[in-house]
Structure 1
């Protein structure tokens, strides 16, 4: 059991306050801080503190996978199968989807054969893994996720009362299924500039008019469309966002995204856990590479309801966030001051992250103190990990293999 030092990622959509405040650093930060990675991904592994100084978690796991991962070493080819993050979005992320395991393996091998450098901006597949992911809100968290029921989208188009949307509403009403969504999405994402330059301003004007009406059932969608257009003027992804579920997560609520689900995180701070991958196929709302043909191979156009994951009591003092992903599982412990030692896990591999208060982790031999924004690595050799609050209530997220 060792303290784990996260890897800070700087992206333009990040926050100058959220992660700095969470980790007790001066505010505002010098640059927008978007993600804090706790894992062993080759692109940016976390570090553990040992008696001999800092060591990369990737190096530690690779050197002794059996000791560090236990049975998971065989299941996942000697690699830690999950990546835990804190995500802080001040501005919208790109519209994106992740490949299935089969698509990722095939795409990674194909780009290797054709000689696309791993760090190339034209690269779609940076590893051979799929990327199911779960995000759990630490504060109010806004997102777009999954294709909305087509008939609800037709209602939205009619409510906006934009003549230029009429043909698209008719198209979707005539085929209110995944095929209709595929046809409309493909049409919009490949619109000639001359058509886009007419359609998009008309839609935005419709959103402004709609927000002045007394009956505003789709007000959050209209506001989001205007905000996206302000951040990404002239981007076809603004139109594509109209097809997606608009979701607000309250603190403690989760959102699970399987392969192929189009999504975009809009705003907020959350804990995120995913398979240990960095594969992203983008569909807009970004200056980065958008490979439309490859994206269309990956996307799942089947409409879905709001894919919320609500915490369930686990019977051990924690709540769990149930997903079908075999690579990871996530529990949350809310520990009160003065309570007895709380059993966190029988054994690793796992990562324990503190998001509120402070806590002590003990295994009968050693002790690690966790403050907000810090984490600990639990190897398979570490057993009977327990926790107690330090100076007030504390919140811990415990990530382990699914």
Structure 2
């Protein structure tokens, strides 16, 4: 079967929204649980099923890798190389860094050799893969992505006035380069005991004062909101160091490996390489390995104007430039006129709004918002039409 609707897993993480997925897609939430993510793919922690038969997608792929994935992807990855999600955050997720491919391989091998169980709380590397990500906003979507320009970091800490960090800030001011940013970030991540308490109390005092700049007002407001959920957490300093961004519906951004980021609030589509490797940097009660975090972080600022991706519009399709080959992402506009899309590998189409039909080899699947369809590589081509918006995840 080359084309079929997916039966997907909903993950009920504590930070999820109880109503966003229901409001956007009409998916019921009878127990009023936080519906954090819909997973579309073959990940072992939440594998989609073939809607008609109930067979797991991973089993179907394993039985027919070349037919389902295509020769290139079967040889290059040996699995569906991406996980596609709806992510609905009501409260902030932890600040994270994902290691690059080589360090993931080395770290996974090292922790295996040390005998650290995969489910251990102090396990950093769950697999040997990297985890680049793209997020596409369905609602207004607040996040942090990458270090601010160093002069902006200096200005924000001066505005916040944190005497406990005066020495570290002066060093950064004298040498406003990536090495000094690394030292500054490391110092904050390593704060402990009375010194950490003093620095946070000084930050809380800044929360209470009127902001002096637009940038300061926004950064401190993020920090104030974080304090409601994670009082005493070192991540409350993060908005002074990381770019804050609010994507409007239809905007997208890419999150590079080795770049600190956090999803704060909103609902969007997320596509990522198939990996669970996470190094945390705050806003979490979970394990934080500061030396490993520092070793896997690139201390190069990102200009705020470079965060949003600039899609290429061509023949009713918006294509987003992605610098990895694990996945691609397009937004397709389904109209009354049937359009054709050729495949290189397996694809997942998710209906964002409206209605659409997807047809291949004489088989047609109808989609409404919140539904998705899997298209095997051996289909070669499919047609779509209707009156709606489809998100296309492919390799």
1:395 to 368, 384, 389: 389
- 3-state SS of 1:87 partner: strand
2:119 equivalent in structure 1:
119
User: Once the 2 structures are TM-superposed, how far is the Cα of residue 216 of structure 1 from its aligned partner?
Assistant: 3.4
Cα distance 1:190–1:378, how it changes in 2: closer, same or farther (>3 A)? same
Q: Tell me what 1:80 maps to.
A: 80
Distance 2:204 2:341 in 1: 50
Contact 2:169 2:184 survives alignment (8 Å)? no
Which residue does 1:172 correspond to in 2? 172
The answer on whether the counterparts of 1:189 and 1:240 sit within 8 Å (CA) in structure 2 is: no
Partner of 2:145 in structure 1? 145
Alignment partner of 2:338 out of 338, 341, 365: 341
Distance 1:149 1:266, change over 3 A: same
Aligned ranges 1:260-271 → 2 under 5 Å:
260-271=258-269
Deviates more, 1:15-24 or 1:96-105: 15-24
Select which of 379, 382, 387 maps to 1:382. 379
- Secondary structure of 1:210's aligned partner: coil
Aligned equivalent of 2:44: 42
Cα distance in 2 for partners of 1:27, 1:118 equals 31
Shift of 1:22: 3.1
Contact in 2 for aligned 1:66/1:78 (Cα 8 Å): no
Q: What runs of 5+ residues in structure 2 fail to find an aligned partner?
A: none
* C-alpha distance 95-346 of structure 1, shift in aligned 2 (>3 A): closer
1:184 to partner: Cα distance: 1.0
- Equivalenced residue count is 391
Q: State which of 290, 293, 303 in structure 2 corresponds to 1:292.
A: 290
Three-state SS of the structure 2 residue aligned to 1:54 is coil
Partners in 2 of 1:219 and 1:199 — Cα distance? 19
On the 8 A contact 2:91/2:264 being kept in 1, the answer is: yes
Selected match of 1:280 from 263, 278, 284:
278
Contact 2:200 / 2:232 at 8 angstroms: preserved in 1?
Answer: yes
Measured at CA, do residues 164 and 176 of structure 1 come closer, stay the same or move farther in structure 2, by a change above 3 Å?
same
8 Å contact kept, 1:61–1:78: no
Q: 1:74-223 to 2 correspondence within 5 Å?
A: 74-211=74-211, 215-223=213-221
- Is 1:124–1:280's contact at 8 Å kept on the other side of the alignment? yes
CA distance in structure 2 between the partners assigned to 1:148 and 1:194 by the alignment: 28
State the TM-score, normalized to the length of structure 2: 0.95
* Aligned equivalents of 2:29, 2:12: Cα separation in 1: 15
SS in 2 for 1:358: strand
Q: With structure 1 as the length reference, what TM-score do the two structures score?
A: 0.93
Instruction: State the partner residue of 2:225.
Output: 227
> 1:321·1:331 contact (CA, 8 Å) conserved in 2?
yes
Match of 1:70 in 2: 70
Match of 2:237 in 1: 239
Quote the residue 1:2 is aligned against: 4
Quote the Cα distance in structure 2 between the aligned partners of 1:125 and 1:247.
28
Q: Indicate if the aligned counterparts of 1:3 and 1:377 stay in contact, CA closer than 8 A.
A: yes
Name segments (4+ residues, structure 1) moved above 4 Å.
none
**What is the root-mean-square deviation of aligned Cα atoms in Å?**
1.7
Report whether the alignment pairs 1:332 with 2:331. yes
Residues in 2 aligned to 1:99 and 1:48: alpha-carbon distance in whole angstroms: 32
Structure-1 residue corresponding to 2:356: 359
**Partners of 2:353 and 2:389 within 8 A in 1:** yes
Q: 1:292 deviation in Å?
A: 1.2
Specify the alignment match of 1:21 in structure 2.
23
Among 367, 370, 378, the residue aligned to 1:370: 367
Q: Secondary structure at the match of 1:309?
A: coil
- Asked whether the equivalents of residues 356 and 394 of structure 1 are also in contact (C-alpha less than 8 Å), the reply is yes
Cα separation, 2, equivalents of 1:270 and 1:12:
17
